[in-house]
Chain A
């Protein structure tokens, strides 16, 4: 019985960790657990000024709850508020207007609250 409880406890803790691991993290703002998360692979992100520019431009949008720019991954992670949308055209426009280029846009839910 003790062994069973121990195994169940391990399973519970592990499943909790997996759920937490699925939750993306952002440097600015927060991830809405019921919102969409958009990953943008971009060209030209080579320094902190580039990342800072992307943050500022996207965080002005009412639809955005959080953002994370990774120079290592050449990517922008955009967390949207629940029920909000930014279509590919608008995202591409925002990135281009900031001085950079979009390579690819990948869409997924935050994986939380579903």
Chain B
């Protein structure tokens, strides 16, 4: 219970993201993510620019369970052009799920998840797709996918504030709200990225990524 409270405090205090899941060789990334379904925090290290390993924790509010996982992101392919970049990733994790909700009295089970992610961006346009299938025993078993797209109303040089106006559409077949749309604003400067939005269900989305 103490661990759970500690985890929630940490997560709530820093609220998260999921952009560029692999950093430069030797680089660390800290990210937090909060949407209508879950809080999560993810810290990873990139031995090379083509994969990262880290710790991923998430707490699903409505179902009241938490997943803690050793997480690996693999950059399978990158397409670099003079004014654009495209990426294809595989993201996977293995760990445990814990719940004391209802019948799950202090139950812990094995949790695995995997998914793909692809994005393409210029300095003015951004498009991304991502999915994930999770199998966490009897406690959690779901599939989610989302698309995210947006544009930059102005183009700024490195080190200045970049602003993006975006839309994220989440599809969760098992949820009551199968489709959730979230308009959001992304602010980006140097090693920090921030996102904030409100979904059509009235839920806040707050994301943060820091590279170091």
Which residues from chain A sit less than 8 Å from chain B, CB to CB? 27, 43-44, 46-54, 56-57, 60, 69-72, 74, 97-101, 103
Known interface pairs A46-B121, A56-B24, A57-B25; A97-B49 also in contact (CB < 8 Å):
yes
Q: Are A48 and B162 in contact (CB under 8 A)?
A: yes
Q: Are A97 and B191 in contact (CB under 8 A)?
A: no
Q: A-facing mask of B34-63, CB < 8 A → 1, else 0?
A: 000000000000001110000000000000
A47 to B84 Cα, complex, angstroms: 10
**Chain A residues touching B, majority SS:** mixed
Complex partner residue of A48 from B23, B24, B159, CB under 8 angstroms: B159
Write out the residue numbers on chain A whose beta carbons fall within 8 Å of the beta carbon of B154: none
A52 to B24 Cα, complex, angstroms: 9
A99 to B88 Cα, complex, angstroms: 13
Q: Are B159 and A27 in contact (CB under 8 A)?
A: yes
16 A-B Cβ contacts within 8 A?
A27-B159, A44-B84, A46-B83, A46-B121, A46-B123, A47-B20, A49-B19, A54-B24, A56-B26, A69-B158, A70-B158, A71-B123, A98-B24, A99-B49, A99-B78, A100-B80
Q: Are B80 and A44 in contact (CB under 8 A)?
A: yes
Q: Is B122 positioned at the interface, with any CB of A under 8 Å from its CB?
A: yes
Complex partner residue of B84 from A46, A51, A60, CB under 8 angstroms: A46
Q: Are B190 and A99 in contact (CB under 8 A)?
A: no
CB B55 to nearest CB in A, in angstroms, measures 21
Given contact pairs A44-B84, A46-B84, A53-B211, enumerate 14 new A-B contacts (beta carbons under 8 Å): A46-B85, A46-B122, A47-B162, A48-B159, A48-B162, A48-B188, A49-B20, A51-B158, A52-B190, A56-B27, A60-B26, A74-B83, A98-B25, A103-B82
A6 to B188 Cα, complex, angstroms: 49
Q: Is B105 positioned at the interface, with any CB of A under 8 Å from its CB?
A: no
Q: Is B75 positioned at the interface, with any CB of A under 8 Å from its CB?
A: yes
The closest CB in chain B to the CB of A46 belongs to: B85
**Chain B residues touching A, majority SS:** loop
CB B24 to nearest CB in A, in angstroms, measures 3
Contact residue range for chain B?
20 to 34
Q: Is B5 positioned at the interface, with any CB of A under 8 Å from its CB?
A: no
Known interface pairs A52-B191, A52-B211, A98-B24; A47-B80 also in contact (CB < 8 Å):
no
Write out the residue numbers on chain B whose beta carbons fall within 8 Å of the beta carbon of A60: 26
A48 to B162 Cα, complex, angstroms: 9
A97 to B24 Cα, complex, angstroms: 8
Known interface pairs A69-B158, A99-B50; A49-B211 also in contact (CB < 8 Å):
yes
Q: Are B49 and A47 in contact (CB under 8 A)?
A: no
Complex partner residue of B82 from A54, A56, A74, CB under 8 angstroms: A74
Write out the residue numbers on chain B whose beta carbons fall within 8 Å of the beta carbon of A69: 158
Q: Are B25 and A97 in contact (CB under 8 A)?
A: yes
A18 to B158 Cα, complex, angstroms: 26
Q: Are A47 and B48 in contact (CB under 8 A)?
A: no
The closest CB in chain A to the CB of B123 belongs to: A46
CB A104 to nearest CB in B, in angstroms, measures 11
Complex partner residue of B80 from A43, A48, A54, CB under 8 angstroms: A43
